[in-house]
Amino acid sequence: MFQTNGSAAKIGDISDVQGIRSNPLMGTGLVVGLNGTGDNSLPSAQMLTSLLRREADITFLAPMLQSANIAVVMVTTELGPWDREGSLIDVNISTLQDAASLQGGMLLATELKGLDGVVYAVARVAAISTTSWTVEGNTGSKVAKNHPTVARVPDGAHVERSELSQFFDVIGQHRYLTLTLRNGDFTTAERIRQAIDTKYPNASYAQDPGSVQVQIPEQVSAGNVLGFVDSIMQLEVEPHIPAVVVINERTGTIVVGGNVTITETAVAQGSLVVKIKEEQLVSQPIAPFTRSATTAVVPDSTVAVTEGQGHLITVPTTVTVEQLANALNAIGASPRDLIAIFDALSKAGALQAKLEMM
């Protein structure tokens, strides 16, 4: 278990410019030249029949072309926000039927469409390498490395139509861009606004915890907009780390955010007994009538953990999750014990944080 501490981060690392995104493309293709590892299915034979009719003007009945040397596949890729016509992008290939392996096959040209039905790229004819292998014995035993039914072809498609992102809006006579926080937070949004206004006075305002709108100054020419955006993205702010404890019960993983504290309580889990106590101590001058000396109330917190025959650990400072974890780890508490204890602390209202279970 570990605890994260707040530190400065660049605005570009904790936010995105609205409008800049990629677009998914997909298409159904055909892989040929397989060494008996294809799907031998009717859909792949029908695709091959249509291909031969269109390209060679030869007509076959689909059952005549059923073969384990071909396989119908799904070809997918991402059209980047700045990919232009003629550029190359990577493609992923996955089997759709029961093909055993795509190793050594050849992908035929495949149209890749967006969700609007428009063809934006074409997967070129390319040899497939799955970086995997499969060995099968006569008795049915099989050994495989990686996934032979999935492949990736670097630069496997040509972009035929670009979909360039528009990252700023023109409203009236002014240009605006919007920064979208990856983790929406009131404090972080306000800190971003303050950092931008320090460099460009009155240029930004936080619309909500998830976005900050920035006005591009009039003196910034069209050719210098990228430089202006870069200067903003390089500014550093300290993101606000919320008080949250994330627990993955399946793997026994615990992640603790910053500013998490625990109030006075006691928890027993199996052979573990955890006691957390807060006291108000009185600081009294040693000698009576001491000049400039006053009586003061000093808060004091302690953590005590016992197990078995009486292990005892005391931390005479403010009780935080980190201190509690150190005390529990010192006696060898398992992750399962920690999960149960944090869950009980949350139920009792003693854990001053949001508990999220995965």
Q: What is the DSSP string of 214-283?
A: EEEPTTS-GGGHHHHHHHHHT-EE------EEEEETTTTEEEE-TT-EE-SEEEEETTEEEEEEEEEEEE
Quickly state the pLDDT bin for 315 (edges 50, 70, 90): very low
CA angle 282, 286, 292 (to 5 degrees): 85
**What is the total residue count of the chain?**
358
Instruction: Please provide the CATH number assigned to the domain covering 7-18+166-237.
Output: 3.30.1360
Rg over alpha carbons for the chain, rounded to the nearest Å, is 31
pLDDT in tens, 70-99: 999 999 999 999 899 999 999 999 999 888
pTM of the model: 0.68
Is 318's pLDDT higher than 50? no
pLDDT in tens, 339-351: 777 787 788 777 7
Question: What are the domain boundaries of the chain?
Answer: 7-18+166-237, 24-159, 244-357
Alpha helices, H only, the chain:
11-14, 42-55, 186-199, 225-233, 321-330, 335-347
CA distance 229 to 224: 9
3-state helix, strand, coil in the chain (%, to 5): 20, 40, 40
